[in-house]
Amino acid sequence: MDKNMRTQYIHDTLETNYMPYAMSVIISRALPEIDGLKPSQRKILYTMYKLGLLKGARTKSANVVGQTMKLHPHGDMAIYETMVRMTRGNESLLHPYIDSKGNMGKVYSRDMAFAAARYTEVKLESICEELFRDIDKDTVDFVDNYDGTLKEPVLLPTAYPNILVNASQGIAVGMASKFCSFNLREVCNATIEYMKNPKVNIADFLIAPDFSTGGELIYNRKQLEKIYETGQGGFRIRAKYRVDKKNSMIEIYEIPYTATAEAVIDAVTALVKDGKIREISDVRDETDLSGLKITLEVKRNTDYELLMTKLFKTTPLEDVFSCNFTMILGSTPELLGIKGILEEWLAFRRECIRRQLTFDADRMKEKLHLLLGLQKILVDIDKAIAIIRNTEKDADVIPNLMKGFDIDKIQAEYIAEIRLKNLNKEYIIQRIQEIESLKKGLQDIEETLGSKKKLDNIIISQLKGIAKKYGQPRKTTIVEEEEQEEVTEDIFIEDYNLKLFLTQEGYMKKIPLTSLRTNPEHKLKEKDRIIQTVETSNKTDILLFSDKCKVYKLKAHELDDNKASELGSYLPGLLETEENEKILTVAATEDYSGFLVIIYENGKVAKVEMQAYATKTNRKKLTGAYYDKTPVVAIFHLQEDTEFALFSEINKVLLFHTDKVGLKSTRQTMGVQVMRLRKGDTVKRVCTVEESGIQDLDYYRTKGLPATGKFLKEEDREDRQMKLFEPDPAEKGKEK
C-alpha cells in the first residue's frame, strides 16, 4: 500500500458525504410540508404569484420556467414537469393550482406526452388566492434564495388543509410519502368539527378519499378509520364502466388513480392472448378530447358483470392505493394520522392569523399615530400654515411644527406633506373621524389575539367560505364493500360439460361433450379398454383411487382437453404413482356431496362420506384412502342409495341395497359383512342390478345381512354371458 494513502473508514465517508445529501433530499426535495407543497411546487407557484398571474392573463410556460430558476437552480425540464402536474389540463390534482392552455398530457396516460413549454400557457387558478391569503402581511417567514438576490417564503399561508385536498407522492432516501386526496368540502367540514370537538370521529365527516380521475372506492369503514388514525394503510379503488349491449361493447371511462390506460390495455391483451379471457374479441383506446375511453368488444351472450369481475381481479382496473402520510414538520419527517395533520395545520394557521393581525395592528397604530397629530392642528390650522410660511429654512419646518403643536417627528412630517389644498377644516375633520374606528379596530384585534376561540372562529369562517366557493361534488363514487361479490379463482375457469374416460392401461381422457358428439370413436392402445366413464363439468375436483390405498386429487380444469382420437393423459406419469400402482376408479365432485361405496374381496362393504376426502389445502395426494387389510374389488361414488349385485368366484350372487350399510365419516372403516363367503371364495365382480343382466331379481335378494347369496341360475348365466361378451360400443372404434 502507498505510504501516502490514508485509511478512510466507510462510516466516516457516509457521515461526511452521503448524510448531507440524504437529509437534503428528505427535507428540501421529496416530502411535502404542512402547506401541502414540496419545495419545487412552492417555488413555481410563488414565482407565478410575483409575476401577477393570479389576476392577469396567461403567459408562456417557458417564461414561468425561466423565472422559477431564480429560486430553483435545477434544469428547465425538471421545473416544467413539476408545473405540468399542477395544471388543470393534466388532471393529476383534485383542485389544480394552475390554469393551463395547450397539451399538458394526462395523468391516466403514460404515452400521452405534454407539449414543450414554448407552446403552452399558464396562470394561477383562483383557488390560489387561498394559498397566498395575506402572504404580504408577514404571515410566514421569508428566506434568501440560493444566491441571496431574492426572498422566498418558507411556507405558503394556506387558508385550508391543502395537504389533504391534493394527492402527493414522494420518494426520499430511506423513506417515502404518499397522500391520497380528499374532497374539499369534506376536509373543511371535518376540520371545523375537529376544532369544535377534538374527540370527534373524523370518519363521520371525512367520508373517504376522492380522486381527480374518479373511479369507484370500495368502502371499508374500519380500514379507513385505521388509515385516519395511523397515517398508513390501503384501500381498493376500481374503474367505472358502462355496457352497450346493442353493440356488444363495454366502455371504461374512469380508471383508478394509480393506473394508466396503456397498462390496462396491455393487461387485457395479455389475458386474451394467453386464453385466460375468451369473451373479448377486441380492445381499443378511444381516448379523445372528451376524456378517457377504453372500449372492449365482447362476444355475444357474454355475462358482462362476470367479465368485469374477472378483469377487476386480474388487471389494473382495480388497484390498491397505499397511504403513507409522512410529511416535514420543521426540519423533521413525521408520520401522522388525520387528526395529527389537522392539529399541526391548525397550529400553523393560527400563527399565520396572529401574524396577519399583528401586522394589521401595527399599520393601524401607525395610521392612528399620524391622525392624532393631524387632530392637534385642527384647533389652529392658521398657526400651522404660519409656522410653515414663516420658517426661513426647509430643514427647520419639521422642528418648528413639533414645537408649535407638541407632536413628534413622524407626525410633523405627515402634516408637512399634506398638500396645500387639503389644509382645510373639512378635510382634516373627515380624516380624524377615522380615529375612533381605528381605536375600535385595534381593540378588536387585541381581544382576538388574546382569545383562541376568536382565532378559531376566523379559521372556521374562512373554511366555510372556501367550502362554499370552491367545493365540488365527489368525483370518486363510494361503493359499500358488502355489495361486492367475493371473487374466487373459480370465476376464471371456463365451465362446460365433459366426460372422463379411464382405461385399463392407466390412460384418462377429458373430452368436452361438444367434441364427443362430432367424433365419438375412441383411439386406444392395443389390448387396452375403457373401464369407467364419468360425466361431469370443468369446475369439479377429480379423485383417482389406486390399489395402493391412495387417492390422487386433480382439478378438472388443470387437465388438457382431449379428442376421442387421442390417447389422453398417462396417469402414472401425471400423478407420479409408484411402480405397478394402478388406478381403480375415478370420482368427480364439485362440493364433495354424496358418499363412496367400497366393496372388498372378503365380502365386506364400507360406506364413507365424500366429505372425508375434502381438504382445506390443495393437497394432491392422500394416503389411507380406505381400509387396506384386504383387496378392493370396486369403488362407487353415489349421491343416493342404490342396489348392487355381488358375484363370487364360485358363481354365487347376492343383491343388496346400500341403505342397509351404515354411513361412516372415517376413511379407513373396515365396513360391514354383506356377503358371507365359503373358505377360499372371494367377491370377484360388482355391478348395479341394471347392469347385472339378471332376470329373476327377487331370487337373489335377502331380507337380512350378511347372507351367503344364491348360485347363479343357468338362464341368468346365459343372459349375463351374452352381455359379458357383447362388444363394448366404446371399443368399436378402437385402433389395434
C-alpha to C-alpha distance for 318 and 30, rounded to whole angstroms: 27
Q: Give which of 559, 571, 472 is closest to 512, Cα–Cα.
A: 559
**Are the CB atoms for 37 and 179 separated by under 8 Å?**
no
Q: Give which of 220, 238, 219 is closest to 309, Cα–Cα.
A: 238
Residue 692 burial (CB < 10 Å; 0-12/13-18/19+)?
Answer: buried
- Helix extents (H) in 197-282: 221-230, 261-273
The C-alpha angle with vertex 98 and arms to 92 and 99, in degrees rounded to 5, equals 105
User: CA 529, 535, 537, 543: dihedral to nearest 10 degrees?
Assistant: -60
C-alpha to C-alpha distance for 353 and 458, rounded to whole angstroms: 8
Is the N-terminal amide bond of 706 cis, ω within 30° of 0? yes
* Residue 492, CA distances (Å) to 268, 279, 606, 663 in order: 14, 11, 37, 36
Q: Which residue has the cell 379559521?
A: 459
Q: Which residues, including other chains, have CB under 8 Å from residue 7's CB and lie 6 or more apart?
A: none
The DSSP H or E segment spanning 448 is helix 434-449
The grid coordinates of residue 591 equal 362440493
Q: Are strands 477-480 and 216-219 parallel, antiparallel or unpaired?
A: parallel
C-alpha to C-alpha distance for 684 and 102, rounded to whole angstroms: 87
Q: Which residues, including other chains, have CB under 8 Å from residue 514's CB and lie 6 or more apart?
A: 496
Considering the candidates 18, 21, 119, 570, report the single residue annotated as catalytic.
Answer: 119
Spell out a b/e string for 533-562, using b for 16 or more CB atoms within 10 Å of the CB, else e.
ebebebebbbbbbbeebbbbbbebbebeeb
**Are the CB atoms for 550 and 621 separated by under 8 Å?**
yes
Q: Are strands 569-570 and 583-589 parallel, antiparallel or unpaired?
A: unpaired
**Are the CB atoms for 678 and 614 separated by under 8 Å?**
no
The DSSP H or E segment spanning 706 is none
C-alpha to C-alpha distance for 46 and 139, rounded to whole angstroms: 14
Q: Which residue has the cell 362476470?
A: 306
- Rounded to the nearest 10 degrees, what angle do helices 338-377 and 434-449 cross at? 150
C-alpha to C-alpha distance for 87 and 77, rounded to whole angstroms: 15
Three-class HEC string of 99-123: EEECCCCCCCCCCCCCCCCCCCEEE
* Residue 51, CA distances (Å) to 23, 45, 65, 156, 573 in order: 31, 10, 12, 16, 78
**Are the CB atoms for 714 and 667 separated by under 8 Å?**
no
> Residue 303, Cα to own-chain centre: how many angstroms?
24
C-alpha to C-alpha distance for 206 and 641, rounded to whole angstroms: 60
Identify whether 700 is a catalytic site residue: no
The grid coordinates of residue 523 equal 383411439
- Rounded to the nearest 10 degrees, what angle do helices 61-68 and 76-85 cross at? 120
Q: Are strands 583-589 and 541-546 parallel, antiparallel or unpaired?
A: antiparallel
C-alpha to C-alpha distance for 551 and 546, rounded to whole angstroms: 6
List active site positions.
Answer: 119
